Every structure is written in structure tokens, then in C-alpha cells.
Amino acid sequence: MTPARPPAEYLRFAYTTLQRLLDACRTAFFRALVARMGRQVRISRGTILSCPRRLVIGDNVFVNMGCMLHAEGGLSIGDDTEIGPYTVIWTTNHVFDRTDRLIRAQGERHAPVVIEPDVWIGASAIILPGVTLGQGAVVGAGAVVTKDVPPYGVVAGNPAALIKTRAAPGEDDELTRAEAGARPRRTRST
């Protein structure tokens, strides 16, 4: 006789709890490596930090699974930012000005990426060196961001272009940042 399978709810609970435990261990490990990490940060599975000593992470930041955060040129991630799965953030370019030398012999140029507070980056976005994402900006899934995004701007595409601007706080009926901060953090299944 086949043994009864545990109820789906039990399995779901066990899986979510395990993932949260692993996320907590991973985040604690990364905390020891980065320049600074705020409170209530969660870094999901498969995320890679390159040059973590140049990485600054604010409070309430969520980095979804499989991200590549390259911080050699300096990377700062503002409070309350959410980074979608498989996002790549890069802070270095190879120099390729000369044709009489190999590209790999010409060195690298670094430029910092600055992510201001309350930014949402959609899945599989690529943020290139030197870019600043203004406060409250949204980056669409799969966008390749080559230029600065203004505060509350929404960009999408390759190269990313402004598709709309969000209403600034106080200009619409949505929660203000202060109210949002008072709400309990959403539960995530990943």
C-alpha cells in the first residue's frame, strides 16, 4: 500500500520555510562581505556578488533569485528597493579605443551605479555602468538601461526608454512612502 502523501499545504509551508531559512543564511553571509547592509534585507538563491566590498545596500531591500551584482566601480542600492530575478548590474566596461592592441590588454573603466530609494527593477533587466536610477523609478522586465532614469520614471526596452512617469507622492491617492513603511512586509513565495 502506498503511504499517504503529506497534504500540499504542508509541503508548500515546508518549502517556503526552508527557502526563507536559506535566504537568511545567505544574507547573513553576504552581510559580512559588503561595505554596508541595512536592516530587513533579503537576498534570494543564485545571486552572485562581485567585489562586495564596494557594495552598499540600504534597509528593506529585496534581491530576487539569480541576480548578478557587480560592484567593482561602486554600487549603492537605496532603501525599499526591489530587484527582480535574473537582473544584471554591471559597473565596468572594457576599454577598446585602440585597434593595435588586444581589448583584453587595454584595461577596464569603472563607473558607479546608483539606485536611489524605492526603485523596482523588473525581471532580467540589465543596468550598465554609470547609470543612476532615480527615486521611485521602475525598470521594465528585460530592459537594458544605458542612461540615467529620472525620479518616478518608468523605462522599458533595449535601449531602455521612458514609457511613462509615475505620479510623485502626494499627487495621487496611493499610499505615501510613510504609510507604506508602516505596513507589514509582503509575503513572497520565492
Give dist(CA 178, CA 169) in Å, integer. 10
Quick one: which of 52, 58, 84, 134 contacts ligand COA (CB under 6 A)?
84
Among 43, 113, 123, 133, interactor with ligand COA by CB under 6 A? 123
- Under a CB-based contact definition with an 8 Å cutoff, are residues 80 and 61 in contact? yes
Q: Which of 74, 142, 151, 169 binds ligand COA (CB under 6 A)?
A: 142
Least gap, CB of 15 to ligand COA (angstroms): 19
Measured from the CB atom, is 129 or 140 closer to ligand COA? 140
94 is catalytic: yes
**Selected catalytic residue, list 45, 94, 101, 147:** 94
What secondary structure does DSSP assign to 76-116, as a single string? EE-TT-EE-TT-EE--EEE----SSS-GGGS-EEE--EEE-
Interaction residues for ligand COA, span 150-179 (CB under 6 A): 154, 156-157, 163
Candidates 61, 69, 138, 145: give the one binding ligand COA (CB under 6 A): 138
Q: Which stretch binds ligand COA (CB under 6 A): 13-21, 89-97, 138-146, 178-186?
A: 138-146
123 closest CA partner among 39, 67, 181, 69 = 67
Applying the rule CB under 6 A, the residues between 25 and 64 that interact with ligand COA are 64
Strands 108-110 and 92-94: antiparallel
Q: In the chain, where does DSSP find H-type helix?
A: 8-31, 177-182
Query: Where along the sequence are the contacts to ligand COA (CB under 6 A)?
Result: 64, 84, 122-123, 138, 140-142, 154, 156-157, 163
